[in-house]
Amino acid sequence: MTEISVQRLRENARIPRYMTRHAAGMDLYAALDSPVELDPGERMLIPTGIALAIPDGFEGQVRPRSGLALRQGIGMVNAPGTIDADYRGEVGVLLINHGLEKVVLSDGDRIAQLVIAPVVRAVLTETDQLPETERGAGGFGHTGIAGTKEPS
């Protein structure tokens, strides 16, 4: 288990926590002075009231909550968001209302999940040509739409 220091930056901040024994992500909570309204199509940075000291070699991945997406159409603009190991500011969650109705968010609402994950740093080496693969440069949709193209 990896230990991470957390600092409350607001009096009403809640410490993230795992809701079940095998949960991969901890719930992040809104730290709001008053409820906020998110109109359809609107995006807003929601404060959590906490700062983290993530150890070197790890990152915090901020991910949407599936229940909010299903019930209210709430997602994240930059999913997943990344909290770098050297960031010490307040964690904020950039939410967007993809739904058709206004959504009200209140202090203490669970707004996202935080997953702590290892980071592998790479060394890039410039080359004139990349090794060949079966896929090659095939990009978006190159294997067809589900159910319309038989695999070769």
Classify residue 135: in a domain, yes or no. Answer: no
DSSP run (H or E) holding 69 = helix 66-72
Number of domains in the chain: 1
Classify residue 134: in a domain, yes or no. Answer: no
pLDDT tens digits, one per residue of 132-142 = 998 888 887 77
Provide the domain limits for residue 99. 5-118
Q: Give bridge partners of residue 92 from the DSSP assignment.
A: 47
Could you give the 3-state DSSP secondary structure of residue 125? Answer: coil
pLDDT tens digits, one per residue of 34-87 = 999 999 999 999 999 999 999 999 999 999 999 999 999 999 999 999 999 999
Classify residue 18: in a domain, yes or no. Answer: yes
DSSP states of 84-120 as a string? Answer: -TT--S--EEEEEE-SSS-EEE-TT-EEEEEEEEE--
Alpha carbon 77 to chain centroid, angstroms: 9
- One-letter amino acid identity for 115? V
Classify residue 38: in a domain, yes or no. Answer: yes
Do 35 and 109 touch, CB atoms closer than 8 A?
no
Q: What is the band of 120 on the pLDDT scale with cuts at 50, 70, 90?
A: very high
- One-letter amino acid identity for 23? A
Classify residue 70: in a domain, yes or no. Answer: yes
CATH code: domain of residue 40: 2.70.40.10
Do 114 and 26 touch, CB atoms closer than 8 A?
yes
Classify residue 138: in a domain, yes or no. Answer: no
Classify residue 132: in a domain, yes or no. Answer: no
Encoded tokens for 122: 């790479």
